[in-house]
């Protein structure tokens, strides 16, 4: 599978204007008991997620523990994922850091490893000015051949990407999408109306509100365990059936609650815990993240049981 980085082309869904698909999972990185990347399990998880409705996967993001995996491990994860499902789903890799030169290196390495696109987060910690953001994102896009999804997440990066900056970046032929975890729907609506940037919700609980103003889908954490329902909601919204989409959204509420059980910054801990509870072990996280406590695990289990009361997803 390849994506034309020079235009908004059809993604795996075959629908023009959705360059990376519509239901993407921000995939965790499976580890062995001794903390090494488990590449066999990477492929198995990727296959499981695609079988359950994901038409795109984002590897090496925050949920994939990118701050604590090496550059070589990141390439191995891309290769294992592409080998497993690269003909069935779009594979994006996280390429963003607070170092522009390193981000370009990661982007080129991701491209060489077979990724179909890159997820480029706002530089964190350094708090650049908007002109710095514009220069950073442009330099990375210029430095590789990958189509790029920007990741706007001021709760982690502090600095939001301003509307004018996004509109300027939309002119770049390889910057094609935005994953929004800022939650400013008014600002997002202005960008959607004023550009060809394709929007994806980066926060599961507000996917439906985002889609009501023009987003095409989600980069999801909860899809690790409830993928068919996430896909059903996204598909209903894209079909204009918001009554059905709201029904699926309401069904997902216990899972959204479960995701918050391990703290706002530990969605990956929820995902790894939830997968284990559903019978698919992926190991624990690397420090500084820690496994769910017994109390958190029990709460997540109860929340999932509420969702799965009827024994069916979607």
DSSP 196: -
Neighbours of 145 (CB within 10 A): 12
Q: Has 63 been labeled as part of a binding site? A: yes
The verdict on whether 125 is a catalytic residue reads no
In the chain the first and final C-alpha atoms are separated, in Å, by 28
Give the ranges where the chain is alpha helix by DSSP (H): 39-51, 71-85, 100-113, 130-142, 154-157, 163-169, 185-194, 207-212, 223-238, 242-251, 253-259, 267-277, 294-307
Q: Which of 74, 151, 199, 272 is catalytic?
A: 151
Q: Which of 179, 182, 231, 272 is catalytic?
A: 179
Provide the token pair at 117: 């696109």
Largest separation between any pair of C-alpha atoms in the chain:
52
CA atoms of 143 and 156, how far apart (whole Å): 25
Q: Has 219 been labeled as part of a binding site? A: yes
CA atoms of 42 and 45, how far apart (whole Å): 5
For 214-233, b/e burial (b = at least 16 CB within 10 A) is ebbbbbbbbbbbbbbbbbbb
The verdict on whether 200 is a catalytic residue reads no
Paired with 120 in beta bridges are: 150
Q: Is 106 exposed, middle or buried (0-12, 13-18, 19+ CB in 10 A)?
A: buried
Orientation angle between helical segments 267-277 and 294-307, nearest 10 degrees: 70
Provide the token pair at 99: 């170092």
Which residues have a catalytic role annotated?
Answer: 151, 179
Annotated binding residues, written as ranges, equal: 63, 219
Annotated binding residues for pyruvate, written as ranges, equal: 63, 219
């Amino acid at each position: 599978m390849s994506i034309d980085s020079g235009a908004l082309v059809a993604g795996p869904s075959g629908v023009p204007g959705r360059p990376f698909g519509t239901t993407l999972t921000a995939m965790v990185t499976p580890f062995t008991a001794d903390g090494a990347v488990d590449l066999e399990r990477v492929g198995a998880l990727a296959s499981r997620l695609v079988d359950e409705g994901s038409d795109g996967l984002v590897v090496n993001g925050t949920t994939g523990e990118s701050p604590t995996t090496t550059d070589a491990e990141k390439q191995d994860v891309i290769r294992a994922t592409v080998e497993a499902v690269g003909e069935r789903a779009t594979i994006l890799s996280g390429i963003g850091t607070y170092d522009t030169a390193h981000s370009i290196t990661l982007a080129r390495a991701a491209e060489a490893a077979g990724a179909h696109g890159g997820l480029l987060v706002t530089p964190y910690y350094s708090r650049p000015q908007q002109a710095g953001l514009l220069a950073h994102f442009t330099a990375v896009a210029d430095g590789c051949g990958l189509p790029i999804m920007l990741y706007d997440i001021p709760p982690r990066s502090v600095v939001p990407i301003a509307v004018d900056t996004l509109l300027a970046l939309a002119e770049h032929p390889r910057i094609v999408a935005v994953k929004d975890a800022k939650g400013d729907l008014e600002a997002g609506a202005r960008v959607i109306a004023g550009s060809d940037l394709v929007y994806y919700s980066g926060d599961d609980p507000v996917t439906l509100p985002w889609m009501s103003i023009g987003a095409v889908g989600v980069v999801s954490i909860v899809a690790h365990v409830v993928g068919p329902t996430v896909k059903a909601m996204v598909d209903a919204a894209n079909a204009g059936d918001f009554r059905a989409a709201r029904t699926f959204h309401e069904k997902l509420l216990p899972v959204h609650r479960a995701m918050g059980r391990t703290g706002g910054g530990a969605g990956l801990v929820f995902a790894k815990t939830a997968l284990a509870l559903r019978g698919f072990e992926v190991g624990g996280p690397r420090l500084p993240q820690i496994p769910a406590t017994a109390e958190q695990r029990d709460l997540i289990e109860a929340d999932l049981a509420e969702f799965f009361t009827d024994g069916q997803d979607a």
